[in-house]
Chains A and B, each alone.
Chain A
């Protein structure tokens, strides 16, 4: 039960004079129950990669296997793949179209062929999961704030009960509070519902506190695919490709340079606090 990329390459314009590969020989395994962070500079191919995960784009070379079956096979049911691998696009609020929030969230389940009642039950559940206040359920989606719209859009995908939920830069353009709220909701979905999450972002800060595997993309290639601790040991390499380690890493390094005995691999603020307290109590 997993999603496997085997030497996947993608070229948007097959007859371009100079071939430009948006994805270059990508090998990946998305395991059930994982929480993945997909990181890369703008244009590194993150969105291209995630659109392969539910068959919206087809690899120009290589294969993608979902639960052991090649998704490019003629008899592969691509529709059911899209139900099981939910993809929330960047700025998903731009896809809202119904008269009410509730109806919009019903769109996905209805496309799955569910009855009206089942679709509504799922919509209700999904809207509750993303933490939208019930008073907005029958409002027009266009009257909501940016953060609320985004929740509705995420609920629209969640209502299909995907096994893997992919979110393409879900925090883009949100204020810090909106960002933390959304990320915490996503974490809750992972922890409580056991949904596999792929979180796309260009900010290390966003993902460092949440994910258990970080996939770093650079110019269409997977550069690192490892735990946050291991990835953040490559601070210089990350900076060279326009990314940065989370500020915690920099603080730990600075403290260490000042002679404090702190754990350099701390990535979350929690761990940082712990190791600083330890270092201070050693000194006392």
Chain B
């Protein structure tokens, strides 16, 4: 159920993608998203699909594992698709009651569905193959120049990685509290929208309290170990580019160029 959301989870495996420098993966994800939204025709989508599929194969993360993550956001995708399908003006194909499905609407909806699911698969691939620690390191290194203008880069990176780390824990907690309240006769899925919203109180209050308690414990544990971010902090495993990272960048440049090139294919 809730714990099926794979976004923000790490999948242990031994692949080139796992060993890649996190900076390459971060920049790669951004480049991939930009490329995805630059597609204008079938060829563009084909290029992205080929890229995504090869990455999935290389990552050694089971496809099933990724699809399970998709299940959770299927609802979001369906809503987006419906809106696009019914709201776009154009040549009417089918109409019933007050709803019309137009040809343009279908195309927009299909594009939207592909983009959304590719976006989510692509970005979850990054978190699936990168540990939160690596992710922080990569972010911090990439945003390093911003320190010059007094941005608390280290702190931001730390906060982000902690937030990511907490997603699965909070999911599990939600599941547990939900069950505990159901054992007391709580009902989460019946009634009108107001009753439903009200029925969430017994879930949300303990969840928030638990999140604060965890945050507090974590802060305490960090301080107990004399954690101090920023300037004088050194790294146990400083990031260094290897041959494969350079190759990764080259492949990325090639990929983006290919997608851009498809714009000129009629």
Contacts and interface: CB of A to CB of B under 8 A. Distances in A.
B186 A111 contact: yes
A111 B184 contact: yes
A231 to B, nearest CB: 28
Interface in B162-190: 176-177, 179-187
28 contacts: A15-B64, A51-B179, A54-B183, A56-B179, A79-B185, A79-B187, A82-B183, A83-B185, A86-B183, A89-B183, A94-B177, A94-B180, A94-B210, A95-B177, A96-B206, A97-B205, A107-B181, A107-B184, A107-B202, A108-B184, A108-B185, A111-B185, A111-B187, A112-B185, A157-B183, A157-B184, A160-B184, A160-B185
Contacts of B186: 107, 111
B176 A89 contact: yes
Interface string B222-240: 0000000000000000000
A156 interface: yes
Given A15-B64, A56-B179, A89-B176, A156 B202 contact: no
Nearest to B179: A56
Contacts, number: 57
Contacts of A82: 182-185
Nearest to B184: A108
B149 interface: no
A107 B182 CA distance: 11
Interface of B: 62, 64, 176-177, 179-187, 201-202, 205-206, 209-210
Interface in A63-100: 79, 82-83, 86-89, 92, 94-97
A50 to B, nearest CB: 10
A56 B183 contact: yes
Contacts of B187: 79, 111
A142 interface: yes
Given A15-B64, A111-B185, A92 B205 contact: no
Nearest to B182: A56
Given A107-B202, A142-B209, A95 B185 contact: no
* Most A-side CB within 10 Å, residue of B181, B184, B205, B209: B184
A247 B186 CA distance: 42
A86 to B, nearest CB: 7
Given A54-B183, A82-B183, A86-B183, A97 B176 contact: no
A94 B206 CA distance: 6
A87 B206 contact: no
B252 to A, nearest CB: 32
Contacts of A112: 185
Interface string A108-126: 1001100000000000000
Contacts of B202: 95, 97, 107
A112 to B, nearest CB: 6
B60 to A, nearest CB: 13
A51 B178 CA distance: 13
Given A94-B177, A97-B205, A111-B184, 4 more contacts: A89-B179, A97-B206, A107-B181, A107-B186
Contacts of B176: 89, 94
A142 B62 CA distance: 43
Contacts of A108: 184-185
Interface string A223-244: 0000000000000000000000
Nearest to B213: A94
A95 B182 contact: no
Contacts of B210: 94
Nearest to B186: A111
Given A82-B185, A112-B185, A95 B206 contact: yes
* Most B-side CB within 10 Å, residue of A54, A95, A142: A95
A87 B183 contact: yes
Nearest to B199: A111
User: 9 nearest interchain CB pairs?
Assistant: A111-B185, A97-B205, A95-B180, A108-B184, A87-B183, A89-B180, A97-B202, A56-B179, A97-B206
